[in-house]
Structure 1
């Protein structure tokens, strides 16, 4: 199998992994905050929160901020792994000479 076919097959698998769940899963993709609020309201309808949010953000803004947080975290993890791998590669020639 050539590299071109292998890359095409991997691309197809990634596309299927993204598209198939969207086609076959019917449901609301709500967050944990919404689920917790619903459960608390169900248990104690008279519950009043201790604090109120400073601002009410639209759902799109909340999603964007969550995605930005995930991207920054992935960047930090990727940078750290690359840095450690680079240090390890630099040490190899020194270790082999001894």
Structure 2
């Protein structure tokens, strides 16, 4: 009988290159882009009031965060929760497939 040899690729080096590229892509804008990082909501509000000065929003926020740091914390928590749910669903379907 002929035995099958299973060749497993060495992904350790590829994983390190992937991690390094993610770090470079994350840090490089912080180093090379100078200026104030402003949210899209603030930029949109400025542009709308520039185009139509008498515009009034349809709704008001239910809860106004105490500071920008609290707002950032809530946004990051929302992103982490969403990423966790997506990761769980992907893992669940992957496990069912196997």
Task: Give your verdict on TM over 0.5.
Answer: yes
Q: Which residue of 1 aligns with 2:6?
A: none
1:78 corresponding residue in structure 2: 87
Query: Which is helix-richer, 1 or 2?
Result: 1
Residue of structure 2 equivalent to 1:48: 56
1:37 is displaced (CA, Å) by: 1.0
1:33 paired to 2:73: no
Cα distance in 2, alignment partners of residues 83 and 49 from structure 1: 41
After TM superposition, the structure 1 stretch with the greater mean CA deviation from structure 2, 79-88 or 6-15, is 6-15
Number of aligned pairs? 88
CA distance 1:47–1:4, shift in 2 (3 Å): closer
Alpha-carbon displacement from aligned partner over 1:45-89 (angstroms, at most 9, x marks no partner): 233334433443211111111111111111111000111111111
Task: Specify every segment of 5 or more residues in structure 2 that has no aligned partner in the other structure, as ranges.
Answer: 1-9
User: Any unmatched runs of 5+ in structure 1?
Assistant: 90-98
In 2, distance between residues paired with 1:25 and 1:55?
32
TM-score by length of 2: 0.70
TM-score of the aligned structures, taking structure 1 as reference length: 0.70
